[in-house]
Structures are given as structure tokens and as C-alpha cells.
Amino acid sequence: MSERLCFVEDDQTISSLIGKKLSSLGYGVDRFEAAESIWQDDFVRWDLFIIDIMLKGERNGRELCEQIRRKTSTTPILILSALSEPSDRIDGLKSGADDYLIKPFETEELILRVKGMLRRRSWYGQWPRHESTFQWEENEIDFANLSGRHAGRAFNLSQKEAMLMKLLVEHEGEVVNRSEILDKVWGYHVFPSHRTVDNFILRLRKFFEPDPKTPKYIHSVRGLGYKFSR
């Protein structure tokens, strides 16, 4: 059965041409113009969301991302937007998206990202349930349930956050470079998305570090990448 994509974009030309392109690659594509069209959905019928930020209607794409994340934390979300400032990207990722692509984009780049994100989607299923938790000091992560705990406070992780943390934990004490992170977690590494990794690292520090400004566990290694150590 082909993978189903949900594409929320209010520009008819972009929506229909990208929709056609993705359909020609074998994906089932459902297109919508406004967040309200799917707001009440349970979102489980789709394998990936592609969402524009500035949409028709009352709600914008960021609000839709938050709504999707309230109901599913594993389905990848790719934001497609004309807003190109670093703060727009950070806000987009904060709302639960896994990546952010700025318009005008290269169609090939969009397709590679979609393929990469779908490839990495089945990641959490690889984990035997009994091995799915990892604890250190006051922290705990459940990779299967995508949840975490820090000093008694519980929270949910997005799939990408959990995957990134898993990659760092598996290479404890070693430096994992950003290209490797993009390749293993996002499924692609050739495009300029390093800022995405940096933004996710900042979020992980907020979850697990006692003081995110002076990290104790998730370290940046000058010019190389990131390292987890206890």
C-alpha cells in the first residue's frame, strides 16, 4: 500500500503541481487549502504532512502542527513556507515540525526530503520494547513511547527529538558530526539544513540539562558536531 501524504497549501498552482509530482512517484496525496479542513481529524491516516504556514482561514500552519502533535508524535511534518527568517524557522520547529523548507524550493530537494523523512519514519519500530528506555542521573527517556522525564517532570518528545537523542546516546563519548545526524535522523544530508540540527539540540538541552546554557550531557564539539556524555 502506498504511503499517504497530507499537503496543506493555499496556493492552487503549488498545491496541484506538487501534488501531481508526488502522486507520479507513487504516493497518495490528499490536498487541503486550510487548517480548518482537517482540524478535527485524528491524523492517523497520513504518513507525512507537508504544511504551508500562511494559510487561508483563521488558523495558520504552525497552529496546525501543534494540533497534529497533540494527537500524534511520530508522523513527520515538513513545513513549506515563504517566511525565511531564522526566527520563523525556530518557531516552525518549535511548533512540532521536523524540518523547514523555504520557498521557492527545488522540487528535487522537496522530494528527497519527503523520501528521507518517510524512510526514517519506521525507526521506532526497530526497538525491542524492553530495551527502549535509557536512564542517567535525574533523566529518563522512553524511545518507544516517545516520552521523557527530567527531575520528576514528565514530557513528550517528538520522533525526531527521540531519534537524535538515541543517536547521541548510542555513540556515548564519541563525537557525532552534523552530516551524520542529518543522514541518520532526517534521512538526507546534502542540503543546507544544519541549522535544523542546531535547533533540535537546543530543544534537547532544554529537556534534559539542569542548565541548558552550560550543558553537562549534550556537548557541542567545536567545528565537529555533538557528543553525549554522562
Partner 1 sequence: MKAFPKTSDYSRAIFIGITLLILSQVTWWTFVFLKNVDEKANLELRHLEFKYGEASSVEKRVEADQIHQAASRSHFMFLSESVFFALLTCVGLYVLFSMYRRDQRIRRQQRQFIEMVSHESKTPLTALKLRLESIAETYEDRDGLKGQISLAVTEIRRLSGVLQKVLDWDRMERHELIFEPIVLREAIDRIMHRLGPLLEQRQVVVEINVSSGLLVQADEMTLSSSLQSVIENAVLYPAEVLKWIRVDADLDSRGRVRLLIEDNGEGISQADRSRIFDRFYRGRSISAISGTGLGLYLAKLFISAHRGSIQVVDGKGKGACFEIILPCAPEGL
Min dist CB 179 to partner 1, Å, is: 9
214 contacts partner 1 (rule: CB under 8 A): no
Which of 89, 121 has the CB closer to partner 1?
89
230 contacts partner 1 (rule: CB under 8 A): no
29 contacts partner 1 (rule: CB under 8 A): no
Which of 154, 190 has the CB closer to partner 1?
190
Which of 93, 162 has the CB closer to partner 1?
93
Residue-by-residue DSSP string for the chain: -PPEEEEE-S-HHHHHHHHHHHHHTT-EEEEESBGGGTTT---TT-SEEEEESS-BSS--HHHHHHHHHHH-SSS-EEEEES--SHHHHHHHHHTT-SEEEESS--HHHHHHHHHHHHHHHGGGGGS-GGG-EEEETTEEEETTTTEEEETTEEEE--HHHHHHHHHHHHTTTSEEEHHHHIIIIIS--SSS-HHHHHHHHHHHHHHH-SSTTS-SSEEEETTTEEEE--
Which of 55, 146 has the CB closer to partner 1?
55
183 contacts partner 1 (rule: CB under 8 A): no
83 contacts partner 1 (rule: CB under 8 A): yes
- Residues between 112 and 171 that touch partner 1 (CB under 8 A): none
Which of 94, 195 has the CB closer to partner 1?
195
Q: Name the segment binding partner 1 (CB under 8 A); options: 32-40, 85-93, 168-176, 203-211.
A: 85-93
Pairing of β 218-221 and β 175-177: unpaired
216 contacts partner 1 (rule: CB under 8 A): no
Q: Which residues bind partner 1 (CB under 8 A)?
A: 11, 13-14, 17-18, 20, 54, 82-88, 102-105, 107, 178, 190-192, 194-195, 220, 222-224
